[in-house]
Amino acid sequence: MNKTDVALEVKSLTKAFHDSGKKKVKAVDNVSFQVKQGEVIGLLGPNGAGKTTTIKCILGIMRPNSGHISVFGDDAQSHYPRILNNMSAVLEGSRNIYWRLTVWENILFFAGLHGVTSRDNKTHFEHLIRLFSLEDKRNVEVRKLSQGMKQKTSIVCALARRTPLVFLDEPTLGLDVETSLELRAVLKQLAAEENRTIIVSSHNMDVIQDICQRVIILSQGRVVADNCVSDLVNFFKTKAYRLTLRGSIPDGLEEALTSKFTGITATCDGASTEVKVNLLEDNDIYILMDILRDAGAIIDEISHEETDLEKAFLEIVRRERNNDESR
C-alpha cells in the first residue's frame, strides 16, 4: 500500500487508566491497523473493548500512553492542527449541534469554525440538505426535530466541513427502521461519490454489514479480527450447523459436545431437541457423529445454520475470551 493511499495509520497504540484500586488497566493494548483512502470501515467490539478510547486518541481528545497515529501521512503529535482539519466526527448522538439554532444555522456555524464558508460552499451545503431529506427542516430549530432528524443534522454538520476522514459513532442509534435504512443508503452513496474515508462504530450489526467493506473487531483492548465483512461471514457460514434430534437430549450429551466444540446451544420442546454447533476442522463432523452415536441420539435433520456478521462477531469475541482464560 502506497503512503498516499493510507488515510489513517495506527501503530502499537496503548492507553491505560487506573481503576478505583489504583491498578493500571489497559483500555487499548498495542492496537495497530491501517485504513485506505475511500474505505468504509466498521469498528466493532463489546462494551469496554476500547472502541471509543481508540477513536478519542485518534481525534486528539485523549492522549495515548504510547504508539503512533498518522492521518494522510502526517504524524498526529507533530502536526495536530493540520490533521484536525482532515477529520470530523459525530460522537454519541447529536451532541455536536446547538438545539436552539436551526438546521441551516448549525451547518453554517460548525463549517465556519473550520474555515468552510457558505460563500464558497453553499452548493455543497444545499446538496447535503437534499441528500439527507432536510429541505423542509432547514429553518426549523433543532430542538423541534425528531430524533432521526437531529441525527441527520449532526452528520450533515460533520460532512459540511468536507474532511476526507469521518468518524461516526452509533449513527443510527435511536432511529426508526425507515430512517435507519435511509441513512445507510445515504452514507453508502457519499462514500462512493466523494471518496470519503468513513469509520463507523456501532452495535448494530446490520448497519455495519450493509455499509462497510471491512471490519476491525476489538476485544479487551486488542484487535482480534481485521478482515472484509464478506470473508468473515463466509468463514463461519460453512462451519455453523443445526441438528434436530428426536426426543429430549440424552444425558451427558450437551457436556460432551461442549468439551469438543464451540457455539453449542441446545433447546428442547419435548418432541425434539435442536442443537447448534460450530465445526471448525474438516474432521469435526466425524467426531460429532461419534459423540451423538455414543450418546444414543437419533438425528432427524442436519442443516447449515444461516450466518451473518453478528454471529461471526460473537464467535470471534467468545473465542478471544476463552483464549484469555486459558493463558
Q: Give the model's pLDDT for residue 95.
A: 64
Sequence-ordered list of residues with C-beta below 8 angstroms from that of 62, at least 6 positions apart, any chain: 15, 53, 56
Q: Give the model's pLDDT for residue 3.
A: 54
Clarify whether residues 11 and 152 are in a common domain.
Answer: yes
CATH number at residue 289: 3.30.70.260
Clarify whether residues 80 and 173 are in a common domain.
Answer: yes
10-residue mean pLDDT series, the chain (327 residues): 78 89 86 94 89 92 94 90 90 76 96 90 94 94 92 92 92 82 85 87 85 91 90 69 90 91 85 87 83 91 76 74 66
Clarify whether residues 39 and 168 are in a common domain.
Answer: yes
Q: Give the model's pLDDT for residue 94.
A: 46
Collapse the DSSP code of 104 into the 3-class scheme (helix H, G, I; strand E, B; otherwise coil) and give the result.
helix
Q: Are strands 165-169 and 87-90 parallel, antiparallel or unpaired?
A: parallel
Q: What is the pLDDT of residues 156-203, one digit of tens each?
A: 999 999 999 999 998 887 788 888 888 888 888 887 888 889 999 988
Q: What is the pLDDT of residues 46-82, one digit of tens each?
A: 888 899 899 999 999 999 999 999 999 999 988 888 8
pTM of the model: 0.75
* All cell numbers assigned to 182: 435511509
Distance CA 314, CA 46 (A): 9
* All cell numbers assigned to 179: 430512517
Residue numbers of the domain that contains 263: 238-326
Q: Based on the structure, what is the number of domains in the chain?
A: 2
CA proximity to 125, closest of 164, 156, 94:
156
Clarify whether residues 129 and 197 are in a common domain.
Answer: yes
